[in-house]
Structure 1
Amino acid sequence: MWERFSFYGMTAILVLYATEDTDRGGLGMSAGDASLLYGLYMASVFLASVPGGWIGDRVLGAQRAVLYGGALIGLGHLSMAVPVSWSLYPGLLFIALGTGLLKPNMAGLLSAFYDREDRAGRDAGFSVFYMSVQVSALIAPIVVGALGEGVNWHLGFGAAAVGMGLGLVQYVRGSRHFGDVCRAPERSATPAERTRVLRGTLAATALVVVVYGVDAALGTFQLGHMMALIGLLCVGLPIVCFWRLLRDPVLTAEERVRVRTYVWLFLASAVFWALFLQGGSAFALFAKDATDREVLGWTVPASWFQAAIPLFVLVVAPLFAWLWTRAGDRVPTVGKYAVGMGATAAAYLVMATAATLASDGTRVSPLWLLVAFLLLAAGEISFGPIGMSATTAIAPATFVSQMVALFWLAGALGGGLGGNALKVSGDRVPGPGWFLALGTAALATGALLLLFRRPLTRRLGV
């Protein structure tokens, strides 16, 4: 729950804080640079799930990985509570590392309580889990937005630290009911493997610090330079991870076929996350600058609109869980992805219409944003829990957390692409053509999923 509070709290105010004038406590960034920062953070959160998944599968076990990940997220928010502008950056780093540990291992822990053949039950269970954690996601934009926009930005950033502390206490108390499930890795890394990974990590970290340190010392550093590295990692890391996984001798021939076919789900997920994560950047700017937020003489904070998606997820998740259970095997994972992509395309077409109405400077009704967020929520419930469920079902037995990390790595690729999308548009508030182009991309992806659903389902087995 509190990881979601952290995520949606950051979604609510990060871009608003970055674009706020410095004399009002913000960073004074342009909309394009703020979107790059947002994309950098989002991509880093998802990229960190790759080492986080490996650590859970091979070193700590999922139970401890979730605990340590939550602690790092709490430390990150404590750092950001310090009222100086530079505290944002170490805080973002801690949060990204902690989320990378928590995300894949939480899914791996949950999947361990389901039989591998119980596909409908697993999908419904992940949908209910996804719905449950949305409670804090609903509260986060309201609490963090009110504190950040209304009182002090750093107070808003630090709010999640309190909740994460309480959440960790509850997790430790409740973990005794897990028994030995995921308490230790099924296939622990050997001392030689741990040493090799540690040396490689230290060498890569040192290289990055030196290169960007020189860049900063020369006075030439820009966010785009960091985004270039993240972009390379977003593209290169999935290739390396899939290649290494497919070469592992532990995999059977059937498992290799499933993993190869999973690449297509990975690419569809990347498209979805690139579009969905615009809710915290392009949609947030539209709420701030092009939406009528006056209610009885009071201006609704722009950040509060970010509560709409988790609210709608809470509303539609039980319906989708019932539908997936009732449909059983008749609606495969690829079909559910197609439904989600169709809903996402519809959201962008709604926003294209709203942007057309706002193109003359008129502020439009908030109902446009709310309808778009409802459709994005339907897309998320068709991709998030279904994707995690399918990934854990497809994953070889000793690679569950690492496969879930690959699922979130699609989010990294999507976050990197999405972070550049607004920069490319060149507009502070995206115009109707921008929304229409992305909506068309979603529609085309959904059509391809429908067209190839049968051969993909046959190879995936889910």
Structure 2
Amino acid sequence: MASSLTKDPASTPGTGKTFFGHPLGLATLFLTEMWERFSYYGMRALLVYYLVSGGADAATGSQGGGLAMTAATATAIYSVYLSLVYLMAMPGGWFGDRVWGARKTVAIAGAVIMLGHVSLAVPGQAMFFVGLVLVAVGSGLLKANISTMVGHLYEGPEDPRRDGGFTLFYIGINVGAFVAPFVIGTIGKEFNWHLGFALAAVGMGLGLLQFLLFSRHLSPKSSEVPNPLSAEERTAVLVKVAVAVVIAAVFYGGVVALGMFTLNWALVPLTLAGLLIPVAVLVRIKRDKDLTRTEQSKMNGYIWFFVAAALFWMIYDQGGSTLSLFADDKTGGIGGFVPSATWYQSLNPLFVMALAPVFAWLWLWLARRNQEPNTIVKFSIGLFLVGVSFFVFMLPIAMTGDGSKASPLWLVAIYMIQTIGELCLSPVGLSVTTKMAPQKYASQMMGVWFLAVTAGDCVTGLLSLAGVDLNGTGIIALEAGMAAAIGVGIYLSRKRVQALMGDVH
């Protein structure tokens, strides 16, 4: 977007200091994102276990003191929570562009996330759900703006340091995600849930503190509001929000007064909204008469990628729910050592850090020989592999049917296959989104990409709310078969999709 351009020099004015040859502001953003991911992934590693703790679906001998929910309800809450994080990325970007500017939005987001984790650290179901909402809202606000601020540090898209800067930033994400399950996960799951959630709050607090102390190193562009609301627009927005809040308050007040309220009254509407909003956004863009014929064609092609991505994330994000519950209840150890089940959540960031450079080299090596797979083929490979991962998952499920424990190496293999699939699909999805976006919606389309995650997680949520056993062999086989078949189908249809994409390859 236009707001990502700046003429700032590589080093901090008057100091000559850099961060591995990059603007010193990158260190500030690197640490902010690292601590935010530390808090987010640490809390996420605990979430499902805390929800089932004390209930019938908790692992034998596990810590009590949780909310004693069923595995199905826990998976639904987890899925809805993830969908909200990515759903909030669109309004988060809107706040950065039109209300506060990226820098102020990230500072507010950090404070909201920290308060959310503090709320989770307070015992009680009411505070727990308040905390989840705050973390989801804050994460959405931060996610949409902090990457934009990285872009502000460089002299436009052609700056040769730009890709390296985003690579360093990406490392910060995975360092935080890798360490968190070992620290927050272990302390929270093995000793005290609320101490674990409190450590997540400390992590975000450290990230926010250093952001505020060293934000002077950021580009002045990050403090600007690129397209501020007019007085009339601001009034209209406030009126719409007030009306929506009043309607929701009256409706749910009536449900509570009649004694009809259950958790599903909140989960089902949120889940349906997470499915309908992505569809509505795509339909709105598709029906825009300002789009040229070429842009309409590209949007038709983009829908293929969107649906495939939604299915991919539906399976992939069960790594923190379906696979986590299996790890806790049916996975043993190696040589007498049984790791905390939260540690498996460190496998994905570990594999990303180990394999991302390999894939970057591989694509370049193939490109030099004119053999690099195009976007469509990479997407089909990613979807096929996530399907394969669930075919592999069926094997340890079958082995543990008699009550025996599966080797941890099965989960290591599943997470590795999924990460390889992610490296084929996720970076390509971000790239193809920017390439195929209609000019009118250039900024908004990145939010549309995140809505694919929302849609996929909401499908998982609906299945859980419907009582489907997501650890059952039948549903695992169905999901695996769908992903693999659609992956193959996209590959076989690659010429048709390419024709819709026009000059995008």
Equivalent position to 2:258, from 209, 215, 218: 218
- TM-fit CA distance, 1:317: 1.4
Tell me if the contact between 2:272 and 2:458 (Cα under 8 Å) persists in the aligned partners: no
Are 1:37 and 2:77 matched, yes or no?
yes
Partner of 1:262: 302
CA distance in 2, matches of 1:86, 1:294: 39
What is the match of residue 364 of structure 1?
Answer: 406
**Could you say if the C-alpha distance between residues 388 and 217 of structure 1 is closer, same or farther in structure 2, counting changes exceeding 3 Å?**
farther
Question: Are the counterparts in 2 of residues 259 and 395 from structure 1 also a CA contact under 8 Å?
Answer: yes
Q: Measured at CA, do residues 279 and 335 of structure 1 come closer, stay the same or move farther in structure 2, by a change above 3 Å?
A: same
Alpha-carbon spacing, 1:309–1:456, altered in 2? closer, same or farther (3 Å): same
Say if 1:166 and 1:412 are closer, same or farther in 2 by CA, change over 3 A: same
Q: Name 1:440's counterpart in structure 2.
A: 481
Question: TM-score, normalised to structure 1's length?
Answer: 0.89
Pairing 1:104–2:147 present? no
Deviation, 1:438, is 1.1
User: Are 2:252 and 1:184 equivalent residues in the alignment?
Assistant: no
Counterpart amino acid of residue 232 in structure 2:
A
Do residues 304 (structure 1) and 347 (structure 2) align?
A: no
Structure-to-structure mapping, 1:228-267, within 5 angstroms: 228-245=268-285, 254-267=294-307
Q: What CA distance in whole angstroms lies between the structure 2 residues aligned with 1:331 and 1:192?
A: 50
What is the distance in 2 between the residues matched to 1:259 and 1:207?
35
Query: 1:126·1:386 contact (CA, 8 Å) conserved in 2?
Result: no
Unmatched 5+ residue regions in structure 1? Answer: none
Q: Equivalents in 2 of 1:34, 1:302: separation in Å?
A: 16
**In 1, Cα distance between equivalents of 2:327 and 2:70:** 17
Deviations 1:331-367 (A, max 9, x none): 3333322222122112111101111111222111111
Distance 1:244 1:190 in 2: 24
Q: Aligned pair 1:20/2:31, yes or no? A: no
CA distance in 2, matches of 1:158, 1:18: 17
- The CA deviation at 1:257 is 4.3
Residues 111 and 392 in structure 1, CA contact (< 8 A), matched pair in contact too: no
Q: 1:443: how far off?
A: 0.4
SS in 1 for 2:47: helix
Whether 2:43 is the aligned partner of 1:3: answer no
Match of 2:191 among 151, 154, 160: 151
Q: Is the 8 A contact 1:81 1:158 kept in 2?
A: yes
Alignment counterpart, residue 132 of structure 2, candidates 92, 104, 121: 92
8 Å Cα contact 1:42/1:415 also seen in 2? yes
Q: Which amino acid aligns with 1:361?
A: G
Secondary structure of 1:162 counterpart: helix
Match of residue 335, structure 1, among 377, 398, 401: 377
Matched, 1:461 2:504: yes
Task: Identify the match of residue 51 of structure 1 among 81, 86, 91.
Answer: 91
Contact persistence 2:347–2:415 (CA under 8 A): yes
- Quote the residue 1:420 is aligned against: 462
Verify: 1:280 aligned to 2:314, yes or no: no
AA at the equivalent of 1:18: L
2:386 counterpart residue number:
344
Alignment partners' CA distance in 2, 1:453 and 1:131 = 33
Where 2:502 maps in the other structure, the secondary structure is helix
Partner of residue 174, structure 2? 134
Aligned pair in 2 of structure 1 residues 202, 266: CA closer, same or farther (>3 Å)? farther
Q: Aligned letter for 2:128?
A: L
Structure 1 distance, partners of 2:164, 2:474, is 37
Give 1:160 deviation, angstroms: 1.7
Q: Give how far 1:101 is off.
A: 0.9
- Aligned AA (2:332): D
Which residue of structure 2 aligns with residue 313 of structure 1?
Answer: 352
| Contact kept in structure 2, 1:107 and 1:404, CA below 8 Å | no
Tell me the C-alpha RMSD between the 2 structures: 3.0
Q: Could you say which structure has the larger radius of gyration?
A: 2
State how far apart, in whole Å, the 1-side matches of 2:434 and 2:149 are: 10
Residue in structure 2 matched with residue 291 of structure 1 by the alignment: 331
- AA in 2 matched with 1:374: M
> Which segment is superposed worse, 55-64 or 340-349?
55-64
Whether 1:78 aligns to 2:118 is: yes
The one-letter code sitting in structure 1 at the alignment partner of 2:37 is: R
Matched, 1:324 2:363: yes
Q: Secondary structure at the match of 2:402?
A: coil
Question: Match of 1:21, SS?
Answer: coil
Separation of aligned partners in 2, 1:139 and 1:369: 18
For residues 377 and 146 of structure 2, the distance between their equivalents in structure 1, rounded to whole angstroms, comes to 25
The alpha-carbon deviation at position 241 of structure 1 amounts to: 2.3
1:282-335 residue CA offsets vs partner (Å, 9 max, x unmatched): 101110111113653x54221221111111111111112223344459433333
Kept in 2, the 8 Å contact 1:343–1:376? The answer is yes
The answer (yes or no) to whether the contact 1:309–1:377 under 8 Å persists in 2 is yes
TM-score, normalization: structure 2? 0.82
Unaligned runs of 5+ in 2: 1-33, 56-62
Is contact 1:131–1:313 with CA below 8 Å preserved after alignment?
no
| 8 Å CA contact 2:89, 2:450 repeated in 1 | yes
Counterpart amino acid of residue 122 in structure 2: V
Alignment CA distance shift 1:77-1:137 (3 Å): same
CA distance in 1, matches of 2:432, 2:165: 12
| CA distance, structure 2, for counterparts of residue 123 and residue 436 of structure 1 | 39
User: What is the CA–CA distance in structure 1 between the aligned matches of 2:497 and 2:222, rounded to whole Å?
Assistant: 31
Letter in 2 for 1:10: M
* C-alpha distance in 2 between matches for 1:223 and 1:181: 43
After superposition, give the CA deviation of every residue in 1:147-203 in whole Å (9 maximum; x if it has no partner): 211221111112122121222233345544442444434333333223222222222
Q: Contact between 1:6 and 1:140, CA under 8 Å: does it hold in 2?
A: yes
Contact 1:234–1:416 (8 Å) recurs in 2: yes
In the alignment, residue 461 of structure 1 is paired with which amino acid?
Answer: V
* Fraction of identical pairs, as percent: 38
Determine helix, strand or coil for the equivalent of 2:444. Answer: helix
Q: How many residues align?
A: 459
> CA 1:252/1:159 → structure 2, altered by over 3 Å: closer, same or farther?
farther
Q: 1:358 to 1:225 in 2, by over 3 A?
A: same
Deviates more, 1:249-258 or 1:358-367: 249-258
